[in-house]
Amino acid sequence: MAQSKLFTPVTIPTKSGAGLQLRNRVVLPPMCQYVIDKRDGVPTTWQLTHLGSMAHGGFSLVITEATAVAAEGRISDRDAGLWNEEQVQAWKPITDYVRSHGSAVGVQLAHAGAKASTYGWLEELEAEGKVGSIPDVDGGWETFSSSSTDIFGLKPATEMSTEQIAASVQDWANAAQRADAAGFDLIQIHAAHGYLIHQFLSPLSNKRTDEYGGSFENRTRYLREVVHAVAEVWPAEKALGIRLSGEDWVQDGWGIDDTVRLAKEMYHLGVRAFDLSSAGIGSYAGPTGPGYQVPLAQAVKQALPEDAFVTAVGVITDATQAEHIVVTGQADGVSIGRAALGNPQWPNHAAQQLGAEKSYPAQYWRARW
């Protein structure tokens, strides 16, 4: 049988030249768990079990849920964080465990901006009518963004001053240093889905008239400052990635041409892993269905030097579909989200189907794959 490309190892380049080796091209993308009932951002045995099971399942790179760089940047009060030492200590055994099962481990650093202080997306909370912004009486907090806008249908955020922007950039750098201490191999900067960085990028949400608003150069300034600050403190032997919304899929919003231009700038600043998602601001008017975001990854891949690791995400559920995406060069790898929640052994089953080597724990050998 022909060798599967999906299960061929790949290296994400690093500044040191050694690179981050991945055993295959199947990545677990960030998925919020909304599970931290103590509301202190400290990961729990749930994160250990959840992310550990994905390492057992054969993922080559396991990325945490959106992990806030500052307390006010949490989407919900049950989110994980990396704004203090206690969180570093709690992440460390999780990263050690995931790596001990052959997966590299990444953290998605995030700030929700105007989309912070919400209840998150939990079935039981929705059933109680707890959706959208958390009222102050229930523990809600002040939110901050590029501009004060009602585009998210949430409570209005406070427009950040240039001093607050500078302090926020420092928060990202501090979180990056903690991510290193916590043992992560890769940082994925969350610049997608309508959260703070995307709130600066998109003209739909950024209405500023100073050096952080207006032109492409100004709207992308906050992100450039964040990436620059993170890259400065992130060790040379570790990998730097970003998640972008390739399209707002809204008239007059952020589009793929902007993304391609931005991705080249990000590459120049040292980013080598690119995950191409979409949307998050305004009323969605884009496509849906299997692989609907793959063309966004393809556009970025074509524009970047060969050594960038570009992944496609979104309704990729089937082994042959994933194999086709990498064989045809549309992307270098795939991120498998919801299908992995249903089946953490997704990569091993895909390997079986494609005739490639599986990487399950020795304890599972009697399953007789």
Ligand X SMILES: Cc1cc2nc3c(=O)[nH]c(=O)nc-3n(C[C@H](O)[C@H](O)[C@H](O)COP(=O)(O)O)c2cc1C
Q: Does 105 bind ligand X (CB under 6 A)?
A: no
Which of the stretches 53-61, 176-184, 187-195, 278-286 binds ligand X when contact is defined by CB under 6 A? 187-195
Q: Is 192 in the site for ligand X (CB under 6 A)?
A: yes
Binding flag, residue 39, ligand X (CB under 6 A)? no
Does 74 bind ligand X (CB under 6 A)? Our answer is: no
When binding is defined by CB under 6 A, the residue of 36, 88, 336, 354 that contacts ligand X is 336
Q: In whole angstroms, how far apart are CA 17 and each of 20, 106, 238, 279? A: 9, 19, 10, 34
Stretch that binds ligand X, among 51-59, 89-97, 155-163, 335-343 (CB under 6 A): 335-343
Q: Note whether 199 binds ligand X by CB under 6 A.
A: no
Stretch touching ligand X by CB under 6 A, among 24-32, 87-95, 125-133, 355-363: 24-32
Strand partners, 324: none
The reply to whether 277 sits near ligand X by the rule CB under 6 A is yes
Question: What is the DSSP pairing of strand 104-110 with strand 61-68?
Answer: parallel
Which position among 97, 170, 315, 318 is part of the footprint of ligand X (CB under 6 A)? 315
Among 193, 238, 272, 301, binds ligand X (CB under 6 A): 193
32 binds ligand X (CB under 6 A): yes
Distance CA 120, CA 79 (A): 9
Residue of minimal Cβ distance to ligand X: 337
Query: Could you tell me the two tokens for 319?
Result: 């082994």
From the CB of residue 250, how many other CB atoms can be counted at a distance below 10 Å?
Answer: 20
**Phi, psi for 58 (deg, rounded to 5):** 105, 0
Strand residues in the chain grouped as ranges (E): 10-12, 20-22, 26-28, 61-68, 80-81, 104-110, 144-145, 158-159, 186-191, 239-245, 273-277, 309-313, 333-335
Q: In angstroms, what is the minimal distance from the CB of 219 to ligand X?
A: 20
CA angle 93, 176, 344 (to 5 degrees): 45
Task: In angstroms, give the least distance from the CB of 75 to ligand X.
Answer: 7
Provide the binding-site residues for ligand X, judged by CB under 6 A.
29-32, 65-66, 108, 190, 192-193, 243, 277, 313-316, 336-339
